[in-house]
Structure 1
Amino acid sequence: MSRPAAVSRRSTKTEYIETDTGNKISRRSHIEGKQNIMLGGKSVIMAGVCLRGDLSRKTEKTAEGEKETSQTAISVGRASVIATNCTIRPPMRISRGHMIFYPMRIGDNVFIGPNSHISSLTISSHVHIGANSVLSPFCVVKEQCKILPDTVIPPHMIIPPGSVVAGRPAQIVGEVGEGWGQGGGGEGEEWVEGGDLRPLVRSIK
């Protein structure tokens, strides 16, 4: 994972700020706690997205007097796309009267559809999440899954690899099938669900 990256000068008048690792971040997104968010490179954060990096677990002060520091709250892999008006916030539970936040991990080539609310513990690589979906705290989505639009995944539910999921609450309704998401990702090739999202990232200006 890369460190929070500097902004490239060439994008000063565009919709997106482009970092030196190729991430594209909309000027109309809302990012809290930037120091606690890690983007792997060539990922896109669209307009209206709310990333709550400020909701991070803090290490306790030690006997030696070290300062309290925050851990990475949200980690996003390479070539992932978070579409418009999504909210991404780490999962939380209350322990001994205190709110404790847990790091969220999003893999490579993950597409999160518009107006979704994500509070998962982990979303593995090559996952496609349809619009208006809700992924409740501490749910886990394994690799190469397809979440259909308007799905609500309950807390702590684990979605096996290669599953198609739908419903409110979510149920596994099928499998994506052999070869789902395969594509060369070559120049001029259209992006496909579950495949390499770099063509989609390149098309966003």
Structure 2
Amino acid sequence: MELPVLSFNKQNYIQTASNIVSRKSVICGSQNIVLGGKTIIDDECVIRGDLRRIGGPNTVAVAIGRYCLLSKGSVIRPPYKTYKGVFSYYPMKIGDHVTIGESTIVEAASIGSFVHIGKNVVIGRFAIIKECCYIADDTIIPPNTVIPSFSIYEGTPGTFNSELPECTQEMYELATRDYYTKFVPQA
């Protein structure tokens, strides 16, 4: 099934050379957030770049790869912990061709490339999602969980359901490129 053209009101979005960001999103600490390009940040998304480890001036809190989609109401915030009495945030890395569904909260340490995260999902602190994974809608991934490549996880708490086919990388890459190409300003 081919995706229809998705038009957006140019006044409601900021279009950079390669990213499309909703004016209704909340981006805190933008100097600590890196977008790889061709990323769409939809309405009411929250990205917390201000929550970062205090250290060098070039500390990145959130790094997001290319062709990523952050759907409406998703929240991206770096994981945190207290170690030897010191409270600290740790950087979060999101790979390329990642889709994060509506109303999803992510506090993972890292998310690999070619990952689809459904709606109303909670990814616990320091979870690691390897490449080519699918997290079903309404799933809760507990903190410190490691999800292996080519896995489908679902449920509360999220558990392994089945494996994805070897063509997953190509499917997700085509889907995210198609979405970005068809997300165009209204005429």
Q: TM-score, normalised by structure 2?
A: 0.89
Q: Distance in 1 between matches of 2:106 and 2:34?
A: 16
SS of 2:93's equivalent in the other structure is strand
Question: Which of residues 69, 74, 78 in structure 2 aligns to 1:81?
Answer: 69
Higher strand share: 2
- What does residue 45 of structure 2 align with? 49
Mark the structure with the bigger radius of gyration. 1
Q: Is the 1:57–1:70 contact (alpha carbons within 8 Å) kept by the matching residues of 2?
A: no
* Pairing 1:49-68 to 2, within 5 Å after superposition: 49-59=45-55
1:148 aligned partner, one-letter code:
A
1:158 paired to 2:154:
no
Give the number of aligned pairs. 176
* Pairing 1:11-30 to 2, within 5 Å after superposition: 13-20=10-17, 22-30=18-26
Q: Distance in 2 between matches of 1:82 and 1:32?
A: 15
How far did 1:99 drift? 1.9
How far did 1:204 drift? 1.9
Question: Which of residues 95, 118, 126 in structure 2 aligns to 1:130?
Answer: 118
Q: Distance in 1 between matches of 2:85 and 2:166?
A: 47
Q: Is the 1:90–1:104 contact (alpha carbons within 8 Å) kept by the matching residues of 2?
A: yes
- What does residue 198 of structure 1 align with? 177
**In the superposition, relative to structure 1, how do residues 129 and 13 fare at CA in structure 2: closer, same or farther (>3 Å)?**
closer
How far did 1:52 drift? 0.3
2:96 aligned partner, one-letter code:
D
> What is the root-mean-square deviation of aligned Cα atoms in Å?
1.7
**In the superposition, relative to structure 1, how do residues 13 and 129 fare at CA in structure 2: closer, same or farther (>3 Å)?**
closer
Unaligned runs of 5+ in 1: 1-10, 60-67, 184-193
**In the superposition, relative to structure 1, how do residues 136 and 12 fare at CA in structure 2: closer, same or farther (>3 Å)?**
same
Question: Which of residues 77, 86, 91 in structure 2 aligns to 1:103?
Answer: 91
- What does residue 4 of structure 2 align with? none
Higher helix share: 2
2:179 aligned partner, one-letter code:
L
Unaligned runs of 5+ in 2: 1-7
2:149 aligned partner, one-letter code:
P
Q: Distance in 2 between matches of 1:174 and 1:113?
A: 20
1:36-72 Cα offsets, whole Å, 9 max, x none, are 000000001100000000001111xxxxxxxx63510
Q: TM-score, normalised by structure 1?
A: 0.81
How far did 1:201 drift? 1.2
SS of 1:164's equivalent in the other structure is strand
SS of 2:31's equivalent in the other structure is helix
How far did 1:114 drift? 0.3
* Pairing 1:137-156 to 2, within 5 Å after superposition: 137-156=125-144
How far did 1:199 drift? 1.4
1:124 aligned partner, one-letter code:
G
